[in-house]
Structure 1
Amino acid sequence: MRLITMIATVSVLALATACGSESDAPAEMPAEQPADTQQEAALEVDVLDCGTIGVSDLDAFSTAGDYAGQTDTFTDSCFLVKHPDGTLLWDLGLPGVLTIAGPQTQQIFTVSLAQTLTQQLAERGMSPDDVDYVSVSHSHFDHIGQADQVSGSTWLVSQAELDAMFGDGVDVAPEQQALFSLFEPMEQQVFDGELDVFGDGSVVIFETPGHTPGHTSLQLMMPESGPVLLTGDLYHRAESRELKRVPRFNSDEDMTLASMDEFEARAEELGAKVIIQHEPADIEPLEGKIR
């Protein structure tokens, strides 16, 4: 589902009011670490508030038809992953100009944003130049809205999602193109299947396609809580995970269901804590940190 009118307006404003900064040179990918160091990195992960999404009718979020007439409020979360060898920003939230424009409503969605990523980094004594890597779970507007603020970072992207955004013959609406263009200044690190970001097993991006062709999820090995999996939009709500509900606007329902099975097998094998990024019941108890 896309907020066509809202995105078109926000995209133009975002391009005109970009508040990020570019680093002089993108960081290089670190060398692969020896096997005996795997999963030992002392990660710190901050949970950033990248917006709020009110949904007036959840019917679009289940092909089974059982959500019709229900309402909900989604969090829109980003994650600042600090590793001894660099910093990764996972997902980029709603467009930063919403902090100026205020809440916007289109069709079933009302979206709002209190602070930009740049503002939240500043509160942590950081700037966009301190973000070495950016990766988005997928290319929907509520996950790519502030790419302009971290344009000096290296973009870690699955080949399938890159092709869905910029491939030959792909029909992309003008308002989407405006948001996609914010990624063009970034150096790219393209992968298939999964990517061990720092070479030690502590931060792994892995493909979970179906919501979009190259949708990905994130695996973290935390020093206190152990394995944690961030879902991206594989699931939007706790009920969607329990009932294996697929949104009507996914690119491929069968592929989504297969990705759900593979995700759950990984979670079980690892004994991982699962965090649904749009689910307030998963995000609020974290109190701004994954430990």
Structure 2
Amino acid sequence: MRLTHLLIAASTAALLSACTPKTEAPVPEAAPAEAETAAAEKPLHVAVLDCGSITVSDLDIFSSAGDYAGQSDTLTDTCFLVHHPKGMLLWDLGLPGMLVGNGENTQGVFTVSMEKSITDQLAEHDIVPSEIDYVAVSHSHFDHIGQIDQVQGSTWLINQKEKDAMFPPDGSAPYDPSLAPTFAMFGPMEQQVISDEYDVFGDGSVVIFQTPGHTPGHSSLQLMMPESGPVLLTGDLYHRTESRELKRVPRFNSSEPDTLVSMDAFEARAERLGAKVIIQHEPADIEPLGGVIR
């Protein structure tokens, strides 16, 4: 999803100042064998972070079929902190951190706001950003990369198609030049280019898989949860329940044909796994989670 130059220009200055990590009290260090056993016994779970709110006054751009014209809706902007015995993955980075404490900001059909930064919410879980091992974004639109400044010590997992869209190999401008200052903040991070389907921790429980079309390298996330069973996070393959039911493609996608193919592949995966599907921008999917997936 794209909010044009005004918000991005305003956020760039804020993105350049890193947030101060929470100071933690010293914790007695466990013996290596004890620490390894404790980690192995801790089950996979996912903290659901509120990374902003997006009110859309006219949804027309979210359906190339033209049937959303004149409708309005409020979308969630959600990030997910995946706790695995072998480490932590932060999936998506929400709206720009400069929005915190600044109320609602409106441009065109979009009104955006955010109450707490990722760093603030991590602190509520007794975690500091430096403890995050991996960062992956479903795609590189502004509402999924807005707080990259807060996780600079993590390894960035990115597929080649999306990386090339952000940093064209021929040195030309990215697909959205207004996002170039934010894209630049990914540059200093340790990077790992991943395959079309990537098993993050090597045990099949957390798998990033490509669902291109919204952007060239758009991805979704598969989770094999101990209590919920298989769960699929859509990224922006779908924005609303109706989008999934009607297979509606936003007008601003990079490729409508690719999106439709990805939708079919995603639904086949969901059916094969018997998976719960969570649309990341859909309040009806996010609110019942109560802040956690187990």
Instruction: Mark yes or no: TM-score above 0.5.
Output: yes
Superposed, 1:258-273 pairs within 5 Å as 258-273=261-276
What's the counterpart of residue 50 of structure 1? 51
What's the counterpart of residue 285 of structure 1? 288
Amino acid corresponding to residue 90 of structure 1 in structure 2: W
What's the counterpart of residue 257 of structure 2? 254
Instruction: Verify: 1:18 aligned to 2:18, yes or no.
Output: yes
Deviates more, 1:64-73 or 1:95-104: 95-104
- Work out the CA distance in 1 between the residues paired with 2:130 and 2:18: 15
Deviates more, 1:280-289 or 1:91-100: 91-100
- Work out the CA distance in 2 between the residues paired with 1:55 and 1:101: 19
Runs of 4+ in 1 over 4 A off after TM superposition: none
What's the counterpart of residue 34 of structure 1? none
The two structures have a TM-score, normalised by structure 1, of 0.91
Residues 1:20 and 1:91: Cα distance change in structure 2 (over 3 Å): farther
- Whether the 8 Å contact between 1:12 and 1:178 is mirrored in structure 2 is no
What's the counterpart of residue 132 of structure 2? 131
- Work out the CA distance in 2 between the residues paired with 1:155 and 1:68: 37
Superposed, 1:195-206 pairs within 5 Å as 195-206=198-209
Quote how far apart the aligned CAs of 1:175 are.
2.9
Gaps of 5+ in 2: 22-40
Instruction: Verify: 1:59 aligned to 2:67, yes or no.
Output: no
Superposed, 1:1-291 pairs within 5 Å as 1-15=2-16, 17-19=17-19, 42-169=43-170, 170-172=172-174, 173-291=176-294
Q: Give CA-to-partner distance per residue, 1:231-266, whole Å, 9 cap, x none.
A: 000000000000000000000000000000000000
- Whether the 8 Å contact between 1:135 and 1:155 is mirrored in structure 2 is yes
- Work out the CA distance in 2 between the residues paired with 1:195 and 1:41: 22
- Work out the CA distance in 1 between the residues paired with 2:123 and 2:42: 25
Q: Give CA-to-partner distance per residue, 1:153-182, whole Å, 9 cap, x none.
A: 000111100010012344335430111111
Quote how far apart the aligned CAs of 1:19 are.
1.0
Quote how far apart the aligned CAs of 1:20 are.
5.7
Amino acid corresponding to residue 177 of structure 1 in structure 2: A
- Whether the 8 Å contact between 1:93 and 1:142 is mirrored in structure 2 is yes
- Work out the CA distance in 1 between the residues paired with 2:288 and 2:169: 43
Number of equivalenced pairs = 272
Quote how far apart the aligned CAs of 1:185 are.
1.9
Amino acid corresponding to residue 18 of structure 1 in structure 2: A
- Work out the CA distance in 2 between the residues paired with 1:174 and 1:67: 28
Gaps of 5+ in 1: 22-39
- Whether the 8 Å contact between 2:3 and 2:110 is mirrored in structure 1 is no
Q: Percent identity?
A: 68
- Work out the CA distance in 2 between the residues paired with 1:247 and 1:4: 20
SS of alignment partner, residue 53 of structure 2: strand
- Whether the 8 Å contact between 2:3 and 2:107 is mirrored in structure 1 is no
Quote how far apart the aligned CAs of 1:113 are.
0.6
Quote how far apart the aligned CAs of 1:41 are.
8.2
- Work out the CA distance in 2 between the residues paired with 1:103 and 1:12: 18
Task: Report 1 or 2 for greater relative contact order, CA contacts < 8 Å, sequence distance ≥ 6.
Answer: 1
Amino acid corresponding to residue 8 of structure 1 in structure 2: A
- Work out the CA distance in 1 between the residues paired with 2:173 and 2:267: 33
SS of alignment partner, residue 227 of structure 2: coil
Aligned-pair Cα RMSD in Å: 1.4
- Whether the 8 Å contact between 1:20 and 1:151 is mirrored in structure 2 is no
Amino acid corresponding to residue 261 of structure 1 in structure 2: D
- Work out the CA distance in 2 between the residues paired with 1:41 and 1:227: 18
SS of alignment partner, residue 82 of structure 2: strand
- Work out the CA distance in 2 between the residues paired with 1:203 and 1:52: 26
Quote how far apart the aligned CAs of 1:18 are.
2.5
Quote how far apart the aligned CAs of 1:102 are.
2.6
SS of alignment partner, residue 97 of structure 2: coil
